[in-house]
Chain A
Amino acid sequence: MDRTLLIVEPSDIVRTGLLSIIKASGLFKSILEATDIHGMQLAIKSLSTPLDLVLLNPSVCVSGSIHNLISGISGLAIVAIHHLPLDEVGTSPFHAAINLSLTSAQIETRLTKVLKRKHPESRITSENTLSAREEDVLRLLVTGCSSKEIAEKLFISPHTVITHRKNISRKLNIRSVSGLTVYAILNNFISLDQL
């Protein structure tokens, strides 16, 4: 099974323990570790294989950011790590939760359950090449079209244009229109006189 897991847990003891339990289960081929949100973001950016599951200690999230965080990686299965056997009410934004009083077997069962429920298309990939449609959007964007104009020209909804723009920026790691312009010229999507 070539699945990838990311563990986000500040406690070395807990993280190392989980790592060894999960390694022994053979559920994942590669396991990435992070101690905080920043580390998590770096890990997601550096992925070379799709990510299947995140084990996350909710305490690493600054209050209120948990929903932002989760909606930012929507579609991804997230399991909360609680140090105490908490009531499962507090885990609502998560797909499941584990705590320190569980046995190895119980942890394995919970993770297997979450993995089964998941659809393959919800995997986060680090595929960085633009699709043909994204190239169209980029071309129009850097020649000065607004999202609305792009939508009209390509016969798609403005909402779809925004999704394309988000994906372009995520794939290229360039967010500003002027930065995208430099990229577009470098890659011959447009020439200087089209600007």
Chain B
Amino acid sequence: MVSTGLVITATMSMANVVINDPRSLVLLPRFGIEFGFGDQTVEDICRSKGIDVNLFLLMVNTFLSPNYFPSKMLRYKESNLELLLVYLQKSHNYYLEVKIPKLHLHIEDFLSTAKHPAMLQLKAFFNEYIQEVREHISYEEQTAFPYIQLFISNNSDKALDSNYTITEFRKHHSDIEEKLSDLKNLLIKYLPPSSDSYLQVTILRELIDLENDLVNHARIEDKILIPIVEQLEQTLK
């Protein structure tokens, strides 16, 4: 992943943040931030949206740079945990409702242009992948998130009494990027050329985009969400 190496700070103009590193574009809707923000700074926008600016910076910087380490410790607030969950849910929706259906359509198109017997297998492979993503997301939304929700809604007793701990979530965090990366390599290195090479470029762009987004998404879960909940589990026990 390319990292521009620029650390986003509260006093930067939001427009510049997005222009400098367009990978941050996709984050704004997940925070409920709408475009047309003029010259407002990151801080202004967070304040008007009721977002803790330190959490925003932590998440954006963690998303953009694999090695980001915050200069300030984040103070735990229930509203922050809630914002994190909303954010993660919105990214899940984005994968399921926007990215994957789009990729699916492109791949169907691509398969119809080539007659090689391997294409059938490729179709099966892609369907397997979609199934894997759905399972992964549904585990998070139906098991892990409701557990975390208990801490937010002042039911931490219930959470601590249950057999579940966030460590399970960490373990369950399987590598859903594996097949995506395989698909990318198959397209670039091994599949017979299609009559429509722009279509192949489009598919590859979508694949690479989704792959990066998923890796960055997982990093937010691993580096921010899970440690916060682990800490809660320890202090409340």
**Do A and B actually bind?**
yes
Stretch at the interface among B37-45, B189-197, B228-236: B189-197
Contact A178 B117, beta carbon cutoff 8 Å: no
Question: A residues engaging B (CB < 8 A)?
Answer: 36, 38, 172-176, 178-179, 181-183, 185-187, 191-192, 195
Contact A186 B191, beta carbon cutoff 8 Å: yes
Stretch at the interface among B84-92, B102-110, B133-141, B178-186: B178-186
Contact A185 B117, beta carbon cutoff 8 Å: yes
Chain A residues with Cβ under 8 A from B192's Cβ?
Answer: 186
Contact B117 A173, beta carbon cutoff 8 Å: no
- Residues facing A in B114-131 (CB within 8 A) are 116-118, 120-122, 124-125, 128
Chain B residues with Cβ under 8 A from A174's Cβ?
Answer: 182, 185-186
* Nearest CB of B to A118, in Å: 30
A38-B66, A186-B190, A186-B192 as given contacts; A181 in contact with B121, CB under 8 Å: yes
Which residue on chain B has the smallest CB distance to residue A185? B118
**Other CB < 8 Å A-B pairs besides A173-B189, A182-B186, A192-B120, 17 of them?**
A36-B67, A172-B185, A173-B182, A175-B181, A175-B182, A176-B179, A178-B121, A178-B124, A178-B128, A179-B183, A181-B125, A183-B190, A186-B116, A186-B118, A186-B190, A186-B191, A195-B121
* Nearest CB of B to A129, in Å: 13
Which of A36, A179, A187, A192 is B125 in contact with, Cβ under 8 Å? Answer: A179
Contact B66 A176, beta carbon cutoff 8 Å: no
Which residue on chain B has the smallest CB distance to residue A192? B117
Question: B1 within 8 Å of A by Cβ?
Answer: yes
* Nearest CB of B to A165, in Å: 14
The 6 A-B pairs at the shortest CB distance, nearest first, are namely A179-B182, A185-B118, A173-B185, A186-B118, A178-B125, A174-B182
Chain B residues with Cβ under 8 A from A183's Cβ?
Answer: 186, 190
Contact A178 B66, beta carbon cutoff 8 Å: no
Contact B120 A176, beta carbon cutoff 8 Å: no
* Nearest CB of B to A7, in Å: 18
- Residues facing A in B179-236 (CB within 8 A) are 179, 181-183, 185-186, 189-192
Mask, B62-96, CB within 8 Å of A = 1, is 00001100000000000000000000000000000
* Nearest CB of B to A188, in Å: 10
A179 to B207, CA, bound (A): 15
A173-B189, A174-B182 as given contacts; A182 in contact with B67, CB under 8 Å: no
Which residue on chain A has the smallest CB distance to residue B188? A173
Chain B residues with Cβ under 8 A from A36's Cβ?
Answer: 66-67
Which residue on chain A has the smallest CB distance to residue B124? A178
A170 to B191, CA, bound (A): 18
* Nearest CB of A to B82, in Å: 29
Which of A38, A175, A187 is B190 in contact with, Cβ under 8 Å? Answer: A187
* Nearest CB of B to A195, in Å: 8
Contact A179 B124, beta carbon cutoff 8 Å: no
Which residue on chain A has the smallest CB distance to residue B184? A173
A180 to B120, CA, bound (A): 14
Which residue on chain A has the smallest CB distance to residue B125? A178
CB-defined A-B contacts under 8 Å, sample of 21: A38-B1, A172-B189, A173-B185, A174-B182, A174-B186, A176-B178, A176-B182, A178-B121, A178-B182, A179-B125, A179-B185, A181-B121, A181-B125, A182-B125, A182-B186, A182-B190, A186-B118, A186-B190, A187-B190, A191-B117, A192-B121
